Amino acid sequence: MHGSASGQPSPAIKVRMAVLQNSLEQTVLAVGAHLILATVLNGAELRLIPILVFLYLLGRATFAFGYSRPPIGRAFGMAVTGISTIVGYLFATALILAGR
């Protein structure tokens, strides 16, 4: 007799697996940006990190809720997640090139 892991996952589980996989990938990128920013920002500038974390979480939540809808349903979440991470990397790069 085979266990439940030997069969094909249900559609609901496939959606959750896809969301988790994408979230893992986005988390690795976002944490990298946040860690780099934590090393180059000073004083009050460090407020940027919680703002980026909030945007990341907002993006992930809206992505997860919209995933089972047509692709446009998850576009906002993916955009918020991606743009906040890209802005973090670009800002960190600018500060590093400026000698900070």
Query: Where are the domains positioned within the chain?
Result: 11-97
Tokens matching residue 68: 């089972």
> Which residue's structure tokens are 């946040």?
34
Query: Greatest CA separation found in the chain?
Result: 64
**Percentage of the chain surpassing pLDDT 90?**
74
What pTM does this model have? 0.84
Calculate the alpha carbon distances from 51 to 9, 28, 36, 56 in Å.
37, 17, 15, 9
What's the confidence (pLDDT) of residue 1?
56
Q: What is the mean pLDDT of the chain?
A: 91
